[in-house]
Amino acid sequence: MNGATLPSGAVSAAIARPVRSCASVGALGLLGILACSGTLPPLRGQIEVGREAYAVVAAGSDPASSDLYAVRASGGPVIPITFSSVGETRPALSPDGRRLAFLRGRAVGDSTPGSVWVMDLLTGGEREVSLPRQAGIPRQVGWSPDGSRLTVATTEGVFRTGPPGDAARAVPASQAERAAADSSLAVLLGDPVFARAIPCAEPQSLCVVGDTGAPGLLAEHARAPARWGTDSVAFLVGNAIEVRPLGPGRARQIEWSGLPGRASGLAVFAEPVEREVDSSAQ
């Protein structure tokens, strides 16, 4: 069930809005980025953060110039989230859908991530997560189930932020923390969890693997899997997002427009607050 590549076009005038401070200081390099805290909530008037299902992808002509974009679960024009002149990749949404962690290059034209950032999508504010000097190159970020801690995988190890009062600094994950840290980086499927989505041994394919048994094929010509609620999995096929149920049912594609370049990385918020409230009221 491979998805066809969807056309890209100009970003709709409906999503045009003033550029955040990142755009004007990006050319200044690291000092400019550090000074950029964000002045406008990037999704205000576009997506009800924490109350509406949506996805985030990175896209651009190459990793050195990619930005982050959001799209509603129902599809439509993509909504720019970042505007800096350095590349941003590997988005990860907090469980409540209100914070976005991602990797960012250190300087213009740098295709290798050099730092980890967290953006508050309700306020537009950003902060850099401090890593130890010898932490290596950041490769991936992931949230704990309650959203209180961030896990960062690098070329030299796995690191975790502390409790909310110390959330801007990451330290090496202890041996006792490794299982929880590894889980926060994995794409866990089902409730209760029964499997993980992983790259297959065959190139450009995704597999599902449980605690026992060999991996089974999930999708060919697919990449960047993400948990879509408790009963589905999402991934990129070509330049489209496909959402596939874990049980019976048909897969569907999220149709978008205005995405510049090829999508890479996928983060999902698929469990709005209203759903949780409705369930508890029954």
Q: What is the DSSP letter of 173?
A: P
- Region 127-153: mean pLDDT is 95
Report yes or no: 103 and 112 within 8 Å, Cβ to Cβ: no
Range with the poorest average pLDDT among 2-11, 156-165, 245-254:
2-11
- Region 257-266: mean pLDDT is 93
Residue length of the chain: 282
Range with the poorest average pLDDT among 14-28, 131-145, 181-195:
14-28
- Is 263's pLDDT higher than 50? yes
Domain ranges of the chain: 13-186+264-281
- Is 274's pLDDT higher than 60? no
pLDDT at 39: 59
Q: How many other CB atoms are found less than 10 A from the CB of residue 9?
A: 12
pLDDT at 1: 41
Instruction: Please give the residue that has the higher pLDDT: either 92 or 112.
Output: 92
pLDDT at 231: 95
pLDDT at 62: 86
- Region 201-225: mean pLDDT is 93
Percent of the chain scoring above 90 in pLDDT: 70
pLDDT at 67: 96
H or E stretch at 245 = strand 240-245
Give 213's pLDDT tier (boundaries 50, 70, 90).
confident
Give 276's pLDDT tier (boundaries 50, 70, 90).
very low
pLDDT at 165: 64
- Is 258's pLDDT higher than 60? yes
SS3 242: strand
Could you write out the three-class secondary structure of 126-166?
Answer: EEEEECCCCCCCEEEEEECCCCCCEEEEECCEEEEECCHHH
Report yes or no: 141 and 150 within 8 Å, Cβ to Cβ: yes
Range with the poorest average pLDDT among 32-46, 151-165, 231-245, 256-270:
32-46
51: closest CA among 280, 273, 281?
Answer: 273
pLDDT at 71: 97
- Using alpha carbons only, what angle is made at residue 16 by residues 26 and 86, rounded to the nearest 5 degrees? 20
pLDDT at 108: 86
Percent of the chain scoring above 70 in pLDDT: 81
How many helical (H) and strand (E) elements, i.e. helices and strands, does the chain have?
Answer: 4, 22
Range with the poorest average pLDDT among 157-166, 229-238, 272-281:
272-281
- Is 13's pLDDT higher than 50? no
Residue 55, classified by CB atoms within 10 Å of its CB into exposed (0-12), middle (13-18) or buried (19+), is: buried
Q: In the CATH hierarchy, which top-level class contains the domain 13-186+264-281? A: mainly beta
